[in-house]
Copies of this chain bind each other. A is one copy, B any other.
């Protein structure tokens, strides 16, 4: 391609992205004011369209799968829109429709000595940008949460899922239009040009917040380039600490579940910390459980002395997010040592203590600076559905704005409202 052709292309892409941004801003104004009934109607009509267009969805997905010759089996699986996954999208839309509308809720309204009443009203953020990789079902899931919270959305899926995403987007448009809402409330970037992501990330005039969903590489790129706030988590290096006063059965049950219920999720335990006083009683039976499940153990010297044949953990193991049947194990002197380990190696995602000691439970809750901190419960509970949010757009390990699982509320903000009767300031 000649320099002139490239520059013409670049300018066409800029124009396309600007048109998208302007349309999103205009749609955001209308969606912010839309009634709950209209938003729910759009969600249910989209569910209806997905159900009616199964053949079209399958065909579009087949085109993507056919073109995606370079993908490994796991990536192909993520890209596949099976009938069960279409059912899940439909079910998800109905679930979001059934959630309470957060927009417009006024809380904490109090009368001040001056006579004014002061409170806070929940309002949408504006335009949410979603950047994701191969799973096309994110298109429907993320669009539903953004719409219900009164935001417009610009979605950018993986280029390998382009046809599938466009097919889903067509159903969403149908749903929006049948409810009288602007179709630009949900827009899918439909060019495979990778430069589109860069333009989106540099457009704070059009996008109020970016949510990247995908692997670490994607999230790092988005964090580095975005000129607007990002809701993200980079790593889930989650810990379970078995305290000296841990109940034996709870310790075994939770430590096993936190690792083995699913290996590939961000809230899976990656390092087990065990108080020296209970290591001899807890580690051998736990090791037997893990081995039976096929989990490879990598331990400190003290752990290895108690569990023959355990591999040696090196410094990198304490930082590792395995997302696999591997577990790092460390015996620690006391609660302080456990807290120091979590502070040094953790990723501020989710950490749990197993203890029957009241004061140590409170200290752990207060001192661990992670988005979710738990006592006597599996780290696997750190999830929007489990917390009662209904669904989640992502999990944030940042401290600003939203922390942990982010649902509808995390896609909104609060403004102050003042109800007066002619009061003036003196």
Contact = CB atoms under 8 A, between A and B. Distances in A.
A70 interface: no
Contacts of A208: 399-400
A121 interface: yes
A424 B380 contact: yes
A112 B425 contact: no
Nearest to A425: B380
Contact of A110 (B123, B375, B380, B388): B388
Contacts of A61: none
A234 to B, nearest CB: 13
A261 interface: yes
Interface residues of A, number: 67
A419 interface: yes
A371 B415 contact: yes
Contacts of A386: 112, 114, 116, 118, 425
A405 B400 contact: no
B405 A416 contact: yes
Interface string A390-414: 0000000001110111000000011
A254 B366 contact: no
Interface in A86-119: 104, 110, 112, 114, 116, 118
Contacts of A209: 400
B369 A415 contact: yes
A8 interface: no
Given A374-B419, A403-B416, 19 more contacts: A32-B369, A110-B388, A114-B381, A116-B377, A208-B399, A229-B229, A254-B422, A365-B417, A371-B415, A371-B416, A372-B415, A372-B418, A373-B416, A373-B418, A374-B420, A376-B420, A378-B423, A380-B425, A400-B400
Interface of A: 29, 32-33, 104, 110, 112, 114, 116, 118, 121, 123, 125-126, 208-209, 229, 247, 249-250, 253-254, 256-258, 261, 343, 352, 354, 365-367, 369-378, 380-382, 386-388, 399-401, 403-405, 413-426
A-B complex: 4 closest residue pairs judged by Cβ atoms:
A377-B420, A250-B422, A257-B424, A374-B418
